[in-house]
Structure 1
């Protein structure tokens, strides 16, 4: 049966005709946003760090506040483009064009939903543990949470979002084995990314999200022709993510005294040497980075942070000007595609490098992250020891019920022929899924239980445990 394009992007993989409560006037894309917003997987992000630990005394962004702002910036980007271009629909078709802001916001809310406790710092730990079992990648885990792990209905796993929203969440729409099968994209080509973003176990959800009304997978219209082109909504979400990261984190760490934005000249030479050694652009484009650095430096505060009302107002104005500039860098290139000007991308790269140089590479943070890696590594190994390969089950009684449920769900996938998990792979993926749905406090608490560090003072309460 042929499906009208206007309905095609509203389709859900599992729920043919969603039931509505009397008086519910939300359309399919508005319900997507609400399903994400009300999920416990999303709420958990309040307990996951953006850069520094969530328990810091300074009021810093965490993954939840970051995701809320990514969603808001993405919505405003989409609204502006729709207002300025009557033919632009972002790949959803003209009948669905007014729903693009909901789709982009939903993708922004969900983009970090699968990131583990302590964020990027411990991803390498999980990559090593999962290297023989399909790998680990934060974006792929987010897609897995949305499609498999989040709970909404008894009849199916995941949140069962529309095709358009799932495609918007796919920041890197490719498997690990298909990264850049063609020519690598240019550094400023936002239609692609360097990473991968989906596990083979989510093949049916991935193919559903990437299909188009004419049949087959989404066509690649990019200059590099390297496959796996992002949707326009995913491009907007990805740029909104960068905007939030390079502005709100700079705001946090200037106020906390870690980024001397008023005195960048004091360590300018060392910073430029650091940036030159860590920049992935071609060498002949280094002058462009120096030019962008000059623009950013000129816009920074002229005096040290002092907690006064004037300081707060001036910093807010700087933040607003940067966000507006970056948002205005997005341009429509066709009714279904967008691009971001290279000049503003260079300026965003300068702010990223400043954050790494002054904050992320600091010895104090690096030392804390080493401890965080050990917590997650030992927790993963401790939980995996419960697996009984001969019985094909997770040990019962003394181990988290949720972990046992994750393992049982993987068994059901095998029985249904959805994905054939080998015993050790099934156990490792169940543990990985479980760890990636813990907050940092929950991870530390469970680590203390597993290692015996808090036997004498541990509480019997904890939803993450039973």
Structure 2
């Protein structure tokens, strides 16, 4: 056992790298890094991670460089996840790896891009960004001579797939799984009917904290949100008024930054308090005990859930459905539909290496290759590709 594998104190119900279930393809241990540290590093060095710099959630990438991208969002999620993991005795490296990986499967143009791919793929096995993340890290990243994918540990793959909860429930069976889940040979080994480990649950809540707060920040700075209506919301309004009282006369930008910092702190504190309460009640002794519980242990309090629901309703009405965002998303949807339909029905326009795996126009296998190709695009590349294919330039 290396020093790196034992250098931190972890709770007994945390995931331990020295007790990992291992990788699908055996590889020698590292003398300098434990298994979860290697997973994190492989994710950081992947092409899919680099492409997150020009993928966005609300704004299209070229709308401005001051807004969050999926890359900066993932870094913010990782920072929150490390804080929660350290405080709760979870494995920080695994929590960070899952935070950095959680958006790898998202297509360009945020939720609109996912909606279009789901619609276009409904006859070919569907589309789900978590399933696509699994596909990215087990197949589409081609970096090693011995295997496809990144050959991540079982714990990281489990967390990628189940960080939002079990996939197989009384209401949802195997037939409801997107094809990208079941295309992975080892999908049954991931125990899709249980909760994920502590670190994956931490990454999921860190994602909620990060995007709720950066949407407030980006929304106010873009002008899509107005401060005065936000002040009417529970918790959010209270914290903004508290900051204005603490720092009278400060520029609006400072007030926003301070309020967002305080909001993150309050949400993190709420998760810690509620999680400790649930751990005290459940008393799991191992990571397996924690997975078999009937509810996640990492959670917001009931009061915070209500506050966040009010915030999300406000963001949905005043930001996500703002006419300027609707215009961007309408254009984005058109780009996605046009590219998918053209590629599927005229695969000869695709790059040669993408064509190589296709089996004729309109087939399910071809649709899945097209889906992989489009899902891997950045916002900017998709826009440029659409321009090249649908705008007549010069004399052809």
TM-score (norm 2): 0.80
Q: Which has the higher contact order (CA 8 A, sep 6+)?
A: 2
Which position in structure 2 is the counterpart of 1:249? 215
Match of 1:206 among 176, 187, 196: 187
Which position in structure 2 is the counterpart of 1:236? 202
Matches of 1:319 and 1:449 in 2, distance apart?
41
Match of 2:97 among 94, 106, 110: 106
Q: How big is the shift at 1:201?
A: 3.3
Match of 1:327 among 268, 285, 299: 268
Matches of 1:7 and 1:357 in 2, distance apart?
47
1:80 partnered with 2:18: no
Root mean square deviation, CA, Å: 2.9
Matches of 2:333 and 2:150 in 1, distance apart?
30
1:401 partnered with 2:390: no
How many residues of Structure 1 are paired with residues of Structure 2 in the alignment?
353
Q: How big is the shift at 1:384?
A: 1.1
Structure 1 residues 428-447: Cα deviation after superposition (integer angstroms, max 9, x where no partner): 00000000111111111111
TM-score (norm 1): 0.69
Which position in structure 1 is the counterpart of 2:393? 455
Which position in structure 2 is the counterpart of 1:317? 258
1:181 partnered with 2:121: no
Which secondary structure does the structure 2 equivalent of 1:61 belong to?
coil
Match of 1:442 among 372, 375, 381: 381
Range that drifts further, 344-353 or 24-33:
344-353
Which position in structure 2 is the counterpart of 1:279? none
Q: How big is the shift at 1:9?
A: 1.8
1:9 partnered with 2:16: no
Q: Is the 8 A contact 2:105 2:133 kept in 1?
A: yes
Matches of 1:6 and 1:450 in 2, distance apart?
48
Matches of 2:229 and 2:113 in 1, distance apart?
32
Q: How big is the shift at 1:58?
A: 6.1
Q: Is the 8 A contact 1:242 1:348 kept in 2?
A: no
1:165 partnered with 2:131: no
Which secondary structure does the structure 2 equivalent of 1:204 belong to?
coil
Q: How big is the shift at 1:43?
A: 0.6
Q: How big is the shift at 1:204?
A: 2.7
Aligned CA distance change for structure 1 residues 443 and 454 (closer, same or farther; 3 Å): farther
Gaps of 5+ in 1: 83-88, 90-99, 184-194, 211-216, 219-226, 269-292, 388-394, 412-421, 459-466
Structure 1 residues 275-333: Cα deviation after superposition (integer angstroms, max 9, x where no partner): xxxxxxxxxxxxxxxxxx43322222587xxxx96434332221221111111222131
Matches of 2:209 and 2:17 in 1, distance apart?
31
Q: Is the 8 A contact 2:164 2:201 kept in 1?
A: no
Which position in structure 1 is the counterpart of 2:327? 367
Aligned CA distance change for structure 1 residues 359 and 58 (closer, same or farther; 3 Å): farther
Gaps of 5+ in 2: 1-15, 291-296
The structure with the largest helix share of the pair is 2
